[in-house]
Chain A
Amino acid sequence: MARIELDLAHAYRPNPQRDEDYALLPLKMSFEDGGAYALLGPSGCGKTTLLNIVSGLVTPSQGGLSFDGRDVTPLSPQQRNIAQVFQFPVIYDTMTVAENLAFPLRNRGVPADRIKQRVGQVAEMLDMSGQLGMRAAGLAADAKQKISLGRGLVREDVSAVLFDEPLTVIDPHLKWQLRRKLKQIHHELKLTLIYVTHDQVEALTFAQQVVVMTRGRAVQIGTASELFERPSHTFVGNFIGSPGMNFLAARGAAEGIEVAGRMLAMPKATLSSLGAFTLGVRPEYVRIAPPSEAGAVPGVVTQAQDIGTYWLVTARVGSGASESLLRARLSPEQSIPQVGETVWLSVVGEHTCYYVNEELIA
């Protein structure tokens, strides 16, 4: 187990010039020993590259990384003592389930009785005890992926266990079960776990700290509630949450801020000198307000959808250049406005965030 520190950048092509040439833009961060991390972002954002750099399958083109202060940049995955589980199941066709699970230990010359004990424990954890003697190639995809997971967890002394979207091929109900299992394993073994996913629910439920990535950049590292309450970048606001954060163009002035054609009272003093900025508010925090309430803007409802446990109401606010759509998550207990109705929606409150150039400023 180790504390992993990164200070690196990576480009797959030589001589990167522009930002687009980088798979991973210059990045400095650390994974604490024993933490559960998730790398979250859309496809192609560089999360798998980052993971492969940590495991040693990819060597960063600039900078390096260290485990507990020891530089490991030139070391192979074996030397780093890393375990990694891949998106699609990798199993050794000619071996039984037990032999598959034992393979990482056997390669390292662990004594046979110790191997047997560990394989038994891991099989127990994954509910595979009954399948140990079966040939792995004949099993279903999810069982194969459980074997891959098991091979990642069978060594106790690893620096970290890395997961690259490991539950993609697993059935939804089993997915939930396995995720809980992983959490439990993390709790018991205190391993450093890094989990790559594009599924925010998976990331937020699994990890203590989530690294949100986009276009080769880690835009925010934080807990689930930090990402939800204070997205430090508009991308995070948009990516986390369902639906994502509402963004409204706004302008600061001496007497207050102008949002959707209406002058609202100044919520924070720092905003007055800014000029144009973006106001972000989560649909969860948009309320139906009495007409002309401070911090509310009028809007025409364009859509009202029943999403089961809540209603999603979309309203058009502002006019002309400042026109935009505002979504609100409303509980079904309150009265839901009809399409075409004009309602007042509160957008400025303690949960409102303010952005300039996509970065959080207040």
Chain B
Amino acid sequence: MKPVNQKAWLLILPVVLCVAFSAILPLMTVVNYSVQDIISPERRVFVGTEWFKAVMRDDDLIGALGRQIVFSLAVLAVEIPLGIALALAMPAKGWKSSAVLVLVAISLLIPWNVVGTIWQIYGRTDIGLMGATLSRLGIDYSYTGNATHAWLTVLLMDVWHWTPLVALLCYAGLRAIPDAYYQAASIDGASKFAVFRYIQLPKLRGVLMIAVLLRFMDSFMIYTEPFVLTGGGPGNATTFLSQYLTQKAVGQFDLGPAAAFSLIYFLIILLLCFILYNWMQRVGTADKEPGHG
């Protein structure tokens, strides 16, 4: 048998303590809330899985979850290809590349609530550049009145805000591809598309995985921008999960259902990230049957 060095426990103790206070204890508090009915600070009743059952039957919540999934998928479908395209179009060296990098990064530096405010003004039909232009073109645009418009505006805002992150990640990934690959492709007579398909895209796998996971998690938890822009309306067209959760927990002070829902929310994100990660690890890497060369 190998000798066991118990000193290792001592070395990971600081990390364990940090994680305990920053993640495990708060999470356990939520678990604690999710199985109790807190009537007043002194009176609480254990209710088992009742809150979980109630939350699962909540039509508003299922509606918010559906909207959330559609929104996150739309975010990925737009931001990832657009970010790649931007990165490919950005100059690779010289002062131009520095200038473009700074320009692209600007939207990432703006506080989230300010982003909401910017778009609130941008979309106004009287003074906003986009709103006024659209109404001049004869489109009856209103992000406060029309559910589709509101939804599209939130999506557009997220694209404006976060596509640069994808672009910067891809830009870094592209710069890391050795010149020899482009030279070999040129010798092999590869078209521009073939270079993208067989060199750039496969070499971007790592950064794209990070970009997809980041954008998925962030968009799945989106709160501030739609809160500022539309307040979740009109109706509940732009009420996403975190907003619904806040309404429940802070607005109505239903701590039990809110806690139960938080846990489900957490598990959904974990599960979807797990699926996405595994899918992206595998796609395009499987051995193929011989004879299809």
Q: Taking beta carbons and an 8 Å cutoff, which residues of A are in contact with B?
A: 52, 55, 57, 76-78, 82-84, 86-88, 90, 92-99, 101-104, 107-108, 115-116, 119, 132-135, 137-138, 148, 151
**A101, B293: Cβ atoms under 8 Å?**
yes
The answer, among B181, B190, B292, for a CB contact under 8 Å with A107, is B190
Residues of B within 8 A of A88 (CB): 178, 180
Shortest Cβ distance from residue B132 to the other chain A in the assembled complex, whole angstroms: 47
Q: Contacting chain A: which of B5-13, B195-203, B234-242, B267-275?
A: B195-203
**A–B complex contacts, Cβ < 8 Å, 7 sampled:** A76-B186, A90-B180, A96-B292, A102-B293, A108-B189, A119-B293, A138-B287
The answer, among A76, A108, A116, A138, for a CB contact under 8 Å with B293, is A116
**B285, A94: Cβ atoms under 8 Å?**
yes
The answer, among B203, B286, B293, for a CB contact under 8 Å with A135, is B286
**A107, B202: Cβ atoms under 8 Å?**
no
Residues of A within 8 A of B4 (CB): none
Closest Cβ neighbor of A154 among chain B residues: B188
**B288, A93: Cβ atoms under 8 Å?**
no
Cβ of B191 under 8 Å from chain A:
yes
Shortest Cβ distance from residue B253 to the other chain A in the assembled complex, whole angstroms: 53
**A84, B183: Cβ atoms under 8 Å?**
yes
Most chain B CB neighbours (cut-off 10 Å) among A87, A90, A135, A148: A90
Closest Cβ neighbor of A98 among chain B residues: B293
Residues of B within 8 A of A94 (CB): 198, 202, 284-285
What total of A-B pairs shows CB separation below 8 Å? Answer: 85
Q: How far is the CA of A288 from the CA of B290 in the complex (A)?
A: 64
Residues of A within 8 A of B180 (CB): 86-88, 90
Chain B 241-264 near chain A by CB (<8 Å), digits 1 or 0: 000000000000000000000000
Closest CB pairs A-B (n = 4): A98-B293, A133-B290, A90-B184, A107-B189
**A103, B285: Cβ atoms under 8 Å?**
no
Residues of B within 8 A of A148 (CB): 184
Cβ of B194 under 8 Å from chain A:
yes
Most chain B CB neighbours (cut-off 10 Å) among A57, A82, A101, A151: A57
Shortest Cβ distance from residue B183 to the other chain A in the assembled complex, whole angstroms: 5
**B189, A86: Cβ atoms under 8 Å?**
no
The answer, among B189, B285, B289, for a CB contact under 8 Å with A104, is B189
**B290, A98: Cβ atoms under 8 Å?**
yes
Contacts A86-B183, A92-B198, A92-B202 given; indicate if A132 touches B188 (C-beta within 8 A): no
Q: How far is the CA of A137 from the CA of B285 in the complex (A)?
A: 8
Most chain B CB neighbours (cut-off 10 Å) among A77, A99, A148: A77
Residues of A within 8 A of B41 (CB): none
Closest Cβ neighbor of A84 among chain B residues: B187
Q: How far is the CA of A55 from the CA of B185 in the complex (A)?
A: 13
The answer, among B181, B188, B288, B293, for a CB contact under 8 Å with A151, is B188
**A78, B287: Cβ atoms under 8 Å?**
no
**A96, B287: Cβ atoms under 8 Å?**
yes
**A132, B284: Cβ atoms under 8 Å?**
no
**A77, B186: Cβ atoms under 8 Å?**
yes
Q: How far is the CA of A96 from the CA of B198 in the complex (A)?
A: 12
The answer, among B186, B191, B284, B292, for a CB contact under 8 Å with A98, is B292
Q: How far is the CA of A303 from the CA of B259 in the complex (A)?
A: 86
**A95, B184: Cβ atoms under 8 Å?**
no
Cβ of B138 under 8 Å from chain A:
no
Q: How far is the CA of A99 from the CA of B197 in the complex (A)?
A: 14
Q: How far is the CA of A361 from the CA of B172 in the complex (A)?
A: 56
The answer, among A78, A90, A95, A132, for a CB contact under 8 Å with B189, is A78
Most chain A CB neighbours (cut-off 10 Å) among B178, B184, B284: B184
**A104, B198: Cβ atoms under 8 Å?**
no
Q: How far is the CA of A152 from the CA of B181 in the complex (A)?
A: 14
Cβ of B291 under 8 Å from chain A:
yes
Shortest Cβ distance from residue A123 to the other chain B in the assembled complex, whole angstroms: 9
Closest Cβ neighbor of A134 among chain B residues: B287
Q: How far is the CA of A132 from the CA of B292 in the complex (A)?
A: 9
Q: How far is the CA of A159 from the CA of B180 in the complex (A)?
A: 21
**A133, B287: Cβ atoms under 8 Å?**
yes
Q: How far is the CA of A119 from the CA of B293 in the complex (A)?
A: 8
Contacts A96-B288, A98-B290 given; indicate if A55 touches B187 (C-beta within 8 A): yes
Shortest Cβ distance from residue B272 to the other chain A in the assembled complex, whole angstroms: 25
Q: How far is the CA of A132 from the CA of B194 in the complex (A)?
A: 21
Residues of A within 8 A of B288 (CB): 96, 99, 133, 135
Residues of B within 8 A of A137 (CB): 285
A-B contacts besides A57-B183, A119-B293, 19 pairs, CB < 8 Å:
A57-B187, A78-B187, A88-B180, A90-B183, A92-B198, A93-B198, A96-B288, A97-B293, A98-B293, A102-B293, A103-B190, A116-B293, A132-B291, A132-B293, A133-B289, A133-B290, A135-B288, A148-B184, A151-B184
